[in-house]
């Protein structure tokens, strides 16, 4: 098990850390005392030090420590949130001052059980992956509903060169069964192919989105469940100061995965023209 905390404590922790993640990008500033309080909450409620909650809290702390003083002291940039359809798929894009997160959903039925997941790809300023994340919207195991899993997490991505050509990444030793919603025979494929494919879903989505924006063929806006009334249309991405150049770079790239061990993979980032198909 990831931790021994109760479901209610996991819900509280998720809300607490998501709030800190939003504020670190869009303000108001996060205080060091708030980081300590959040860490104390996790420890007191028996969350595992290896859990995603501690990892995300560490990323918030690292971001605060490495941000230039003038960036944190200056006016906060509003976090962009866009949604709609492009390339035949619903997409959500969130932009912050130095990265974007591009997401889409998949659903299906496995062993007569329905399920739904959201897959998110975070790209840095140079269009390279920071991580690939899965959120259980409706898990095949109801106790996991709302939980997050980093399928691929680039090691020390905050400190890595933003234009890396090869990077080591943490991966899950056992991938979630819900990935069958993407491709029913996915677990019959070699793991390195699955991981490369998961990485490249994001690059292909970026390509579809850029093409849709260029051809003015994006459609609709808003989150699919209607719970995000402030979400702008995909077309509004063209006015975003951060997202378009990142998407252009991500759309031009392709990843090749090489498994190092059950929990580590080497990702090589190449141009589409140089990629092996």
The pLDDT value recorded for residue 39 is 86
How many Å apart are CA 41 and CA 15, to the nearest integer?
12
The pLDDT value recorded for residue 86 is 93
pLDDT digits (tens, 9 = 90+) for 226-274: 556 678 999 999 999 899 999 999 999 999 999 999 999 999 999 875 4
Angle ∠(139,145,151) on CA atoms, nearest 5: 70
In tens digits, what is the pLDDT along the chain, a chain of 277 residues?
Answer: 444 567 778 888 888 888 888 777 666 678 877 888 888 888 888 888 878 888 888 888 887 776 554 444 444 455 789 999 999 999 999 998 889 999 999 999 999 999 999 999 999 999 999 999 999 999 999 999 999 999 999 999 988 999 999 999 999 999 999 999 999 999 999 999 999 999 999 999 999 999 999 998 887 554 454 556 678 999 999 999 899 999 999 999 999 999 999 999 999 999 875 444 4
Torsion region of 6: left, alpha or beta (phi above 0 gives left; psi -120 to 50 gives alpha):
beta
Contact 251, 206 (CB under 8 A): yes
The pLDDT value recorded for residue 71 is 43
Give Rg (Cα) of the chain.
18
The pLDDT value recorded for residue 1 is 40
Task: Give the residue from 186, 189, 166 showing the smallest Cα distance to 268.
Answer: 166
């Amino acid at each position: 098990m990831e931790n021994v905390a109760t479901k209610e404590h996991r819900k509280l922790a998720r809300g607490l850390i998501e709030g800190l993640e939003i504020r670190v990008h869009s303000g108001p500033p996060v205080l060091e005392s708030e980081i300590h309080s959040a860490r104390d909450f996790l420890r007191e409620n028996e969350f595992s030090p290896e859990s995603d909650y501690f990892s995300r809290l560490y990323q918030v702390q690292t971001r605060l420590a490495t941000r230039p003083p003038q960036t944190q002291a200056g006016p906060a940039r509003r976090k962009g949130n866009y949604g709609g359809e492009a390339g035949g798929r619903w997409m959500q894009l969130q932009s912050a001052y130095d990265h974007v997160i591009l997401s889409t959903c998949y659903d299906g039925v496995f062993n007569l059980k329905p399920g739904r997941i959201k897959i998110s790809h975070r790209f840095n300023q140079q269009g390279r992956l920071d991580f690939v994340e899965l959120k259980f919207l409706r898990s095949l195991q109801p106790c996991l509903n709302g939980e997050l899993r980093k399928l691929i997490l680039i090691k020390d991505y905050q400190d890595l060169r933003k234009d890396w050509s090869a990077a080591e990444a943490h991966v899950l030793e056992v991938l979630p069964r819900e990935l069958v919603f993407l491709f029913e025979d996915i677990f019959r494929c070699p793991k390195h192919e699955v991981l490369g494919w998961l990485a490249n879903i994001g690059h292909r989505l970026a390509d579809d989105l850029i093409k849709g924006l260029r051809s003015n063929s994006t459609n609709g806006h808003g989150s699919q469940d209607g719970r995000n009334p402030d979400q702008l249309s995909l077309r509004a991405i063209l006015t975003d100061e951060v997202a378009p150049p990142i998407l252009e770079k991500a759309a031009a790239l392709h990843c090749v995965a090489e498994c190092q061990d059950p929990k580590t993979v080497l990702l090589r980032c190449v141009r589409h023209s140089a990629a092996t198909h």
